[in-house]
Amino acid sequence: MAFRRRNKSYPFFSQEFLIQNHADIVFSLVIFILIGLMFEATAKSAILFIQPQYNVTTLSAEGEVTFYHYGWKDCATILFYFFIAIILHAVVQEYLLDKVNRRLHLSKSKNTKFNESGQLCVFHLVSSVWSFYILITEGYILHPSSLWENYPHVHLRFQVKFFYLTQLAYWLHAVPELYFQKVRKEEISRQLQYICLYLLHIAAAYMLNLSRVGVVLLFLQYVSELGFHIARLFYFTDENHQKMFDLWAVSFVFTRMATLTLTFLAVGFGLARAENQVLDLEMGNFNTVLIRMTVLLLVCLTQSWLLWKFIRFQLRRWREFRHEQAVRKKASTKQPLRPLKRDSFGHHENGVLKAENGASPRIKKLKSP
């Protein structure tokens, strides 16, 4: 299974060989794990990578219901879907983005940003639909108080736990992709910033048993980011598409306000009213004043940083727009000189006789009629 066209062969285990064939190498590892399911001796070890662990079956009015909680074995599952994310990244890049890039003929800097937005657009679209489906089926929208009631939310349904594992796997895979995609050094620091922020917030929500609040916040964030990357893709195809950035600006500000409001409502007020506010690692209870203040501080600092970057981005756009308007206005005020008219005798209206055969022109005044 080849994801890249081989225009040139490189020595085995060289840097270029690894970059060019990384998807094929990872695909071989995935096949190796799947083959382990076929044999009884290795099936138990292989299933550790594929299926979420730590399931607990309980009886309810609906019958037997299976819940999950987290543990160190989740690392193996995250590793497997880390490999899957690398494969899917290569598929989207090879069969979608590269074909569009050949038609657009973008520069290197724009090409890097186009690939970044293309990959994130697909991921944000899938994650937005998935998280919205969880919000509907779990009843978080119809019952907002369920976001903090009955804390700690140790037991998760399969779709919720699998959602968090795949989210962690995707953002972890984004780190080596910076090397595989040969991202420019100027872009690496910027991309590492939001990758680390996603990993920090998702891991904190998962391990502090704030999974319900985390799903809602991720849905809001992914919808906002989806609008931004769609706007940037349209901008790269045609630079006249600027109105979509204005729509994204409105959704961005709304997302920041909704994120802060929801976080203070669930963590600052909802959990503060809970009876059990003692740290208990065995029960998964992290509802203490120190941890709540740390979570609120982390969210506030992140949202403030995002707003600061957003304001800088809008000011830069405003300055570029004003400069462009000034240049256009200055160009429109400059009227071109009109060509001088000549009468039937070859004389100019201002009395200058045009020279013939390259001779120097002679100036004489026309007689008044």
3-state per-residue secondary structure call for 250-292:
HHHHHHHHHHHHHHHHHHHHHHHHCCCCCCECCCCECCCHHHH
Q: Which residue has the tokens 């970057």?
A: 309
- DSSP run (H or E) holding 64: strand 63-68
pTM of the predicted model as reported, rounded to 2 decimal places: 0.84
Q: What pLDDT sits at residue 364?
A: 43
* Helix pair angle (74-92, 40-50), 10° resolution: 70
C-alpha closest to that of 199 among 220, 170, 228: 170
Would you call 312 exposed, middle or buried from its count of C-beta atoms within 10 A (0-12, 13-18, 19+)?
exposed
Q: What pLDDT is recorded for position 3?
A: 53
Distance CA 75, CA 80 (A): 9
Distance, CA of 28 to CA of 38 (rounded, Å): 16
Which residues lie below 8 Å from residue 223, measured CB to CB, with a gap of 6+?
124, 128, 251, 255
CB 155 within 8 A of CB 69: yes
Instruction: Estimate the crossing angle of helix 108-138 against helix 158-180, to 10 degrees.
Output: 170
- Distance in angstroms (rounded) separating the CA atoms of residues 363 and 351: 7
Averages of pLDDT over runs of 10 residues in the chain (369 residues) are: 57 80 93 93 92 87 84 95 96 91 83 92 97 94 90 92 97 94 88 95 96 96 95 85 85 95 94 88 92 95 94 85 80 61 48 45 42
pLDDT value of residue 64: 82
- Closest by CA to 158, choosing from 55, 276, 250, is 55
* Backbone CA torsion sign across 312, 313, 314, 318: positive
* Plot region of 209 (φ>0 → left; ψ -120 to 50 → alpha; else → beta): left
Cβ atoms of residues 287 and 150 within 8 Å: no
Q: Count how many Cα atoms sit within 13 Å of the Cα of residue 115 in the half-sphere of its side chain.
A: 28
Rounded Cα gap, residues 264 and 255, in angstroms:
14
* Alpha-carbon span 15 to 350, nearest angstrom: 76
